[in-house]
Structure 1
Amino acid sequence: MDELTKKTITTKRGFTYTYYVSPAKSGKPTLLFSHGFPDHAALWEDLATKHLKPAGYGLVIPDLLGYDGTSKPTDPAAYRWDRMTADLCDILDNEGIDKIISVGHDWGSPMAQKVYNYHPERCIGLIQLNVAYGAGPPAGPFKLDDVRPKITELVGYFPQWYWYFFTNPAEGPPISMAHPGSFFDACHDEPEGWMNTLCAKDGLKNWVLQDKTCKRQPYATEELKQDFVARMQRDGFDAPMCWYRATTEGHQYEVDKDLPADRWVVNVPYLFIGGKRDCVCLARYIESPKKMGLLPNFTYEEVDTGHWCMLSKPREIGEIFLKYLGNTF
């Protein structure tokens, strides 16, 4: 991230955020990037520095709450959408940026969406990678035991078995902390390998407990692994896993249920980039919000990757972004 300017800010609710910026040039728009679990701002380095910055696009790339250079509260309520989107608006205000294209991957995908849902006046576009748009308003609190049979019937298996592991504070954080290298390998295994770990009952927990390793995908180098291990041994898994607990413990429902119905309609240009081989965050999930009429300005791109598309196909993702941004804004 050396080509970007690193900054820190204390938000109005008292949390420290670290973020990276590059100003827009020649009237180009600015993109606000939200990474997911268990990443940090550097996830976006290739896309930002090799594709978007040279083309003159403005960039704001934070370490989100719970990660790296940003505060790491362990109360799941701190991760409510209304509160975290307000933090990101504090960053934009600090930079004097009024409007952005909101971009996100993994948990950063709903984060990017909520920036639009809660602050539509700040967004001129929305781009989501791998995790499809979440339709709303919610019918009720999210319960893993309730959604499991429904999703299993829909897709033939339950892609979120690993949520039980992550949302148990007595298991997820300490077990993962004891075996961060094995955890990394499971995340970056060949996409089909997830059927035996993330998508299997106790699959990921047992993999990590046994300290298993695998060949990993080519982008998941030993350097990337060691950087991850060092970061997580320093920072821990408790705060990052609060992103999951904020949903399963009802904090997100309590604020999402009060959003006006029209806030769920994306009245700006919308791009979804789906991973053809992502067996957890299925690209087909985008069909539901489309059919509901929530995405009237919809564009879809599919890439032949698993979950981390910007790492496994960096050039292709860069080309998709530049083409879409050039044609749309």
Structure 2
Amino acid sequence: MQTKSQTSAEAAKQRHIQRGIDAKDKSKGNGKTHAMQAGARTYPEPPFPKQHQPKPGHEWAVEPAPLYDAPYYLGSKKLQDKVAVITGGDSGIGRSVAVLFAREGSDVAIVYLAEGKDAEETKAAVEKEGRRCMLVKANVAKRVDCHSAVADIVKEFGRIDVLVNNAAFQIHSTDFSDLTEEHFDTTLKTNLYGYFHMAQEAVPHMKPGSAIINTGSVTGIDGSKELVDYSMTKGGIHAFTRALSGNLIDKGIRVNAVAPGPVWTPLNPSDKEADDVSKFGADTPMKRPAQPEELAPAYVFLASSQCSSYITGEILPVVGGY
């Protein structure tokens, strides 16, 4: 049993340690914690210019421009002479995926809703990589549009080797009572029906070794109180991925998903208010949102039979340290 002098000495030692830590904390001050930069180039970090866009959002108007071309990424024929279909491929993650798929040797068909200027820029970027690019304007929420889109793509390219379901609708609703049935229905029709329609139309044109990659979200894992409907659909996409992977195993078609955290794309300025956009991604462990080119290699990995032939039914989170 310790004596009173011994316990007093122990308490004094603990206070000495405490004073040392307190002094160090004060010396650090309250300066800004810088974002983590671990990539091949330095990426933008908050605060961003305050901005807000009408739906569906335009990449050409986002400031700073999303980084999608991954100049330090070297292709190695992982998708040589494949045919890839990317919904929502005109901008954001979809654009970067299109560019890296092309750099890996794939021809690309871009399915987009209305953003013609963005789509043309993506087409030019794919063609710059030496591959063909087809633009197809369609609303994936409508089965007839998906049927026509796939028919046109197969007529042009003869087959489909990779389907990337990426088109999405997202807009916040701070108060649950403000989430209207029209809002809810639009989110579900785009994010769930769109994936279902495109997969069901594409599968008959896919051979063993083909791949489907769905874009999920960290909100489908953790939920988001202001994105109840969106979180619901992204969780559904994760379940859809796992279920469809088992269904298509006998056909030799792998099905996986990428679950991004916050990514700097037109989806955000067309969802959030200008003040919130300026702080987007600041609350992540890395203190910044991802850029599209930081997500695209995950899609290459899951599309390539050289890289992921034994992977199906998986959800790959790319969430910046969450």
Superposed pair shares fold, TM > 0.5: no
Using structure 1 for the length normalisation, give the TM-score: 0.35
Which one has more relative contact order, counting CA pairs under 8 Å at least 6 apart?
2
Structure (1 or 2) with the larger CA radius of gyration: 2
TM-score by length of 2: 0.36
